[in-house]
Copies of this chain bind each other. A is one copy, B any other.
Amino acid sequence: MNKLRRVDDEPPFMTDSRAPLAQTTVTSLRVVEALDEHGRLGVTALAAELDLAKGTVHKHVTTLERLGYVVKEDREYRLGLGFLGVGVNSQRRLDVYRVGRGPTDRLSKATDTVASLMVAEHGRGRYAYRVPHGDEYELAHHEGDVLPLHATAGGKAILAYTPADRREEILESHGLPPMTEHTITDRDAFREELRSVRDTRTAYDREELLDGWHCVAAPITNEEGDAVAAVSVSAETEFGDASKRTQDVPGLVISTATAIENKLRSP
């Protein structure tokens, strides 16, 4: 459901820094992520999944339960809504979310598509806000989900307006893994793509993340011109083609980004 980067993968952005981690916390969060991925699990299944002793898993899971983050149902454990509370709070604290929500809602209505706000964390993209289009409840990605920057319109918009050294650092550590057959995987082709993003202040995703889905994005920058986020719209239609319905969409995306920028820079 959310497989791109998990605790048990080697975090690629920190090959150095051999400062010892809090191992118990790592294990507890591995439990959380296993429950996040599988829904409801018993102690035995969790222990098998995480390659731990049953007793160990039991201790972690009861700890999380006592803290209110896990709920025991029958003889299984599942995540409660505790992390949702924490997550919503961190979301609401984001400036881009607070001031960008209104403009993004309006963008969604005006273009009749799914509109999103994306931010970068640890060299990866995360949706800070998504407006589901109409009653289309079941999107492939949701608020808080992680996505690779190089395969999304929002991610490209952010990378294009990120200082070169940091940008290269990200490319170096995350690479350009293919998501679909349209994903740009060549380093130089991608750098060229970013250059064209800077030309028009507009980034496109042509089924590079998800087959059948197209996106347009524009960066939201700070006073220094560096991206702090990106607005985008997604649809199962190509943008910028001849059809009149999608012709002015890029322009609306850009003006939404500008509107958010202005709101961000005035208290």
Contact = CB atoms under 8 A, between A and B. Distances in A.
A50 interface: no
Contacts of A93: 39, 78-79
Nearest to A58: B19
Interface stretch (A138-146, A180-188, A198-206, A251-259): A138-146
Of the candidates A32, A71, A122, A142, the one having the most CB atoms from chain B within 10 angstroms of its own CB is: A122
Contacts of A146: 68, 85
B83 A83 contact: yes
Given A81-B144, A128-B81, A22 B60 contact: yes
B25 A60 contact: yes
A90 interface: yes
A63 interface: yes
A179 interface: no
Contacts of A85: 2, 87, 126, 142-146
A53 interface: no
Interface residues of A, number: 63
Contact of A86 (B24, B33, B127): B33
Interface string A85-127: 1111111111000000110000000000000000101101011
Contacts of A81: 87, 90-91, 94, 119, 121, 126-128, 143-144
Interface of A: 1-2, 5, 7, 11, 14, 19-26, 28-29, 32-33, 36, 39, 59-60, 62-64, 66-69, 71, 78-94, 101-102, 119, 121-122, 124, 126-128, 135, 137, 142-146
Contacts of A62: 19, 21
A124 B85 CA distance: 13
Given A25-B25, A87-B144, 5 more contacts: A25-B63, A28-B28, A68-B121, A80-B121, A102-B135
